[in-house]
């Protein structure tokens, strides 16, 4: 696999598996945090997001748990947009955010399965971070 990091070289091809993986992860980690963030206001995916918030974390933020989850939603929306617009910054932001979620879930207790899943997502966000530095943000070329 050839990775083009020199700005004077051509953009990678759509047939490059690494570039395909970059875009799949970029779209996934862009769109999904936005949807999760929006759901902090709509409560469609779960009827009560506050049950996932550790009391110790809730004590650190102003307002009640519902206000804290609304702030979480805003941060998730911003992180998703950052991945879509500038993945070199957005991907490590999402990875760090997932790390925080993991710690919060372990403090809450009883959500180890979700924390483990989020650890896998964090690892994938770190892979996206690496791919974002390996591939330019431009559009790929087409091979004849």
For residue 42, being part of any structural domain is answered with yes
If one counts the domains in the chain, the total is: 1
For residue 23, being part of any structural domain is answered with yes
Give residue 49's domain range. 17-134
Distance CA 59, CA 139 (A): 45
Per-residue pLDDT for 77 more than 50? yes
For residue 11, being part of any structural domain is answered with no
Distance CA 122, CA 58 (A): 23
For residue 5, being part of any structural domain is answered with no
- The mean pLDDT of 62-69, rounded to a whole number, is 91
Distance CA 144, CA 131 (A): 25
Cβ-Cβ contacts under 8 Å for 30 (sequence gap 6 or more): 80, 81, 83, 84, 87, 90
For residue 90, being part of any structural domain is answered with yes
For residue 85, being part of any structural domain is answered with yes
Q: Which of 7-11, 23-27, 85-89, 117-121 has the lowest mean pLDDT?
A: 7-11
Per-residue pLDDT for 3 more than 60? no
For residue 55, being part of any structural domain is answered with yes
């Amino acid at each position: 696999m050839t990775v083009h990091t020199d700005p004077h070289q051509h953009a990678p091809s759509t047939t490059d598996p690494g570039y395909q993986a970059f875009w799949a992860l970029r779209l996934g980690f862009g769109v999904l945090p936005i949807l999760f963030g929006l759901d902090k206001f709509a409560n469609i995916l779960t009827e009560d997001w506050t049950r996932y918030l550790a009391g110790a974390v809730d004590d650190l933020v102003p307002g009640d748990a519902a206000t804290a989850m609304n702030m979480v939603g805003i941060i998730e929306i911003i992180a998703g947009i950052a991945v879509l617009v500038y993945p070199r910054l957005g991907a490590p932001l999402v990875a760090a955010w997932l790390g925080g979620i993991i710690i919060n879930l372990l403090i809450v207790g009883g959500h180890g399965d979700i924390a483990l899943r989020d650890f896998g997502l964090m690892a994938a966000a770190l892979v996206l971070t690496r791919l974002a530095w390996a591939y330019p943000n431009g559009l790929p070329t087409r091979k004849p």
